[in-house]
Amino acid sequence: MSLAVGMSWQVAASSTEFGGEWKGTFECGPMLVGTAGAGLSQSMTMTVRQGGVQTNRATDKYREELRGRIGADKSIQLEGEGHYTADSFPPWQTKLAGSFSGNRLMASGAVFGLDGTKRRDCKADLTRVAGTSEQVQVHAAAPQVSSFYSNSYELVKSLEDGRSGKIAYKSVSRNTTVGDLKSGRVFLNDTVHAVLSLPSTGKAPYPVMVIAHSSAGVQNKDRDWARWFNEQGIATLLVDTFTPRGITQSATDQSVLYYGATIGEYLVALKLLATHPAIDIKRAGIIGFSRGGVAAMATGIESIRRGTIGGDLKYAVHFPVYGGCTYRADRWTGAPMHQFVGSEDSYEDIEICRGWQEQAKAKGVDANLTVFPGVHHGFDNSDQMALRQFPNAEYWKDCKVEWNVDAGQFRSARHPYWHSDNSMVEETAACKNRGVTVKYDEKATADLKAAVREKLKQVGFI
């Protein structure tokens, strides 16, 4: 993945070996907000394999894992989530930054609440206790998209200067509704961050893929997707809609950012990309995951597209990945869509997804649906190797909602007839549940990439 034209993100050999097992301490100062709490000092373990780093803090009361990759300058940024075994306590997020020096790692950072409020200042000090014979490979410094360590996102109104790397742009207000988008009530009051990466292969102007993150914010796997598309000769715009707004995650409360805002900002991104001289905007696609998958689908609804950015600018292909199948429309943009979901997904009702495919096909869309048997939500995230439960995450699977945004009508399990969407918020609140599972699936991820690549060939991206 390139940081600038001609500069590629490549693997470089390190002369220093960091592989092995590490042990040390994790220390935090007193609570900065809320109930007063003393400082803490706890043991921490860490494993380094092939440049990948995973730390662990665990007792019978809580568990926390942080992950990251070693940079060419021996730096490391670690991010992850912790949670108590008791469901009544909310999870938290920890972020650390530091550097390796021989057999020692020192890092500092903080623990944050779900609302982004810093709760404690913390630091870690670890020493390698068992090495490996591997020659560790580290990656040249890659764009750190969702990072509270850097403020180097330059606000731009245009990309006509041909830049790449970190940018910030004005986007729709966080409380924007889908109705606002349709009616053109779009106000660019918020700022979002993004990293634009141009491929080191191929010839400009390049096709481009916009990457929409999930309710967990930008993760390592999103950066991996950007690199994978770059390897196919496709530019990428990886957008971070959370960090500039002070949001760490939305899984436990999706109302912290309205879905209309999430959908609208990816259309605004498309309009911005159209100003870049090295981008072929007629070959712009979008891939989104979970919450971002909703945007990857809904940006293909013509009334939403037209009300938000006007003109005839549109995405040429849409890839919603475990992204929800609620939306129906009387008129789509006509671009092909391919939804991917696992049969065991906690969020998605497969029959509702089949209903989306049937309705979209009837409206002339090349709509495809792939269901991976036995596969869970988040199946492309290799940071979730084992089945993991998130007891506080919201889901609406049992509602079985179908929403025709053009007709202003919906139906659901409770009311299986089409009626005004004026009552949809109240009805979905009544059938909301909590508790989802996620798990990586290597085969499903490989099959997903193969299917995406085949579709990109068909539409002329590759």
Reply yes or no on whether the pLDDT at 182 is more than 90.
yes
Least confident of 122-136, 153-167, 193-207, 337-351: 122-136
The pLDDT of 17-46, averaged and rounded, is 84
pLDDT attached to residue 67: 80
How would residue 224 be classed by pLDDT, with cut points 50, 70 and 90? very high
**Helix, strand, or coil here: 116?**
coil
User: Which H or E run contains 352?
Assistant: helix 350-362
Reply yes or no on whether the pLDDT at 146 is more than 70.
no
Reply yes or no on whether the pLDDT at 209 is more than 90.
yes
Q: Which residue has the tokens 């070959």?
A: 283
Q: Which residue has the higher pLDDT, 314 or 113?
A: 314
pLDDT attached to residue 389: 87
- pLDDT, one tens digit per residue, over 45-97 is 998 876 678 888 877 677 788 888 788 788 888 987 777 655 446 678 899 99
pLDDT attached to residue 17: 67
> What is the overall mean pLDDT for the chain?
87
The pLDDT of 297-303, averaged and rounded, is 98
Reply yes or no on whether the pLDDT at 309 is more than 80.
yes
pLDDT attached to residue 89: 60
Reply yes or no on whether the pLDDT at 167 is more than 70.
yes
Least confident of 11-15, 180-184, 286-290: 11-15
Reply yes or no on whether the pLDDT at 133 is more than 60.
no
The pLDDT of 139-156, averaged and rounded, is 50
Reply yes or no on whether the pLDDT at 139 is more than 60.
no
The pLDDT of 293-305, averaged and rounded, is 98
The pLDDT of 247-263, averaged and rounded, is 94
How would residue 121 be classed by pLDDT, with cut points 50, 70 and 90? very high
pLDDT attached to residue 9: 30
Reply yes or no on whether the pLDDT at 159 is more than 80.
yes
Nearest-angstrom CA–CA distance, 154 and 242: 17
- pLDDT, one tens digit per residue, over 402-428 is 999 999 999 999 889 998 988 888 888
pLDDT attached to residue 2: 30
Reply yes or no on whether the pLDDT at 8 is more than 50.
no
- pLDDT, one tens digit per residue, over 310-350 is 999 999 999 999 998 999 999 999 999 999 999 999 999 99
Reply yes or no on whether the pLDDT at 149 is more than 60.
no
pLDDT attached to residue 112: 85
The pLDDT of 126-146, averaged and rounded, is 51
pLDDT attached to residue 62: 78
pLDDT attached to residue 86: 52
The secondary structure of the chain, three-state, reads CCCECCECCCEEECCCCCCEEEEEEEEECCCCCCCCCCCEEEEEEEEEECCEEEEEEECCCEEEEEEEEEECCCEEEEEEEEEECCCCCCCEEEEEEEEEECCEEEEEEEEECCCCCEEEEEEEEEEEEEECCCCCEEECCCCCCCCCCCCCCEECCCCCCCCCEEEEEEECCCCCCHHHHHHCCCCCCEEEEEEEECCCCCCCCEEEEEEECECCECCHHHHHHHHHHHHCCCEEEEEECCHHHCCCCCCCCHHHCCHHHHHHHHHHHHHHHCCCCCEEEEEEEEEEECHHHHHHHHCCEHHHHHHHHCCCCCCCEEEEECCCCCEECCCECCCCEEEEEECCCCCCCHHHHHHHHHHHHHCCCCEEEEEECCCCECCCCCCCCCCEEEEEEEECHHHCCEEECCCCEEECCCCCCCEEHHHHHHHHHHCCEEEEEECCCHHHHHHHHHHHHHHHHHCCCC
Distance, C-alpha 26 to centroid of its chain: 28
